[in-house]
C-alpha cells in the first residue's frame, strides 16, 4: 500500500509530465518559474526543488525531457531522437565528465591526506 508521500510524488510526477509533454521541441520551452506556477496553479502545490526532483525521476524512467539553463532556458519534450541526442551530448555528457573529474580529484585528496587506503575508495 502506498503511503501519502509516495502517492503525492506520483501525482506531482504525472502533473509535471503532462505539462512538459505539451512543450514539444526546443523552441517551445517552459521556464522553471512558469512550470512551478503552472503546477501550483492547476495541479498540486509543489516548490521548485520538488519539481526538479520530479523531472529527475521522470528522466530516470526514460522520458525525453530536455532542458537548458540561462534566461531563455527551460524544459521541453524532445521532438525526435536527434533532438534528444543533441541534448544528451550538450548537457548530460559534460556533467558526467565533470563529476568524474571531481570524483578523481577527491579520491586523490583522500589518499594523500587521510588514512584511507586507495582500494577502499574504489567501488
Residue 62 clears pLDDT 80, i.e. is over it: yes
The per-residue pLDDT of the chain, averaged, comes to 86
Q: Which CATH class is domain 1-78?
A: mainly alpha
Portion of the chain with pLDDT greater than 70, in percent: 85
Per-residue confidence (pLDDT) for residue 4, from 0 to 100: 45
pTM: 0.79
Helix/strand/coil (H/E/C) assignment for every residue in 16-45:
HHHHHHCCECHHHCECHHHHHHHHHHHHCC
Per-residue confidence (pLDDT) for residue 43, from 0 to 100: 56
Residue 119 clears pLDDT 80, i.e. is over it: no
Mean pLDDT of 66-92: 93
Q: Which of 28, 37, 96 is nearest to 68 (CA)?
A: 28
Domain-wise residue ranges, the chain: 1-78, 80-123
Q: Nearest 5°: phi and psi at 65?
A: -95, 120
Alpha carbon dihedral 94, 100, 106, 109, in 10-degree steps, equals -110
Amino acid at each position: 500500500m502506498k503511503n501519502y508521500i509516495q502517492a503525492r510524488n506520483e501525482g506531482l510526477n504525472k502533473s509535471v509530465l503532462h505539462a512538459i509533454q505539451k512543450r514539444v521541441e526546443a523552441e517551445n520551452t517552459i521556464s522553471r518559474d512558469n512550470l512551478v506556477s503552472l503546477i501550483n496553479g492547476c495541479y498540486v502545490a509543489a516548490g521548485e526543488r520538488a519539481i526538479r526532483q520530479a523531472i529527475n525521476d521522470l528522466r530516470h524512467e526514460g522520458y525525453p525531457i530536455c532542458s537548458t539553463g540561462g534566461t531563455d532556458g527551460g524544459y521541453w519534450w524532445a521532438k525526435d531522437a536527434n533532438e534528444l541526442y543533441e541534448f544528451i551530448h550538450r548537457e548530460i555528457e559534460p556533467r558526467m565528465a565533470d563529476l568524474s573529474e571531481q570524483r578523481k580529484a577527491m579520491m586523490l585528496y583522500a589518499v594523500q591526506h587521510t588514512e584511507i587506503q586507495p582500494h577502499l575508495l574504489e567501488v
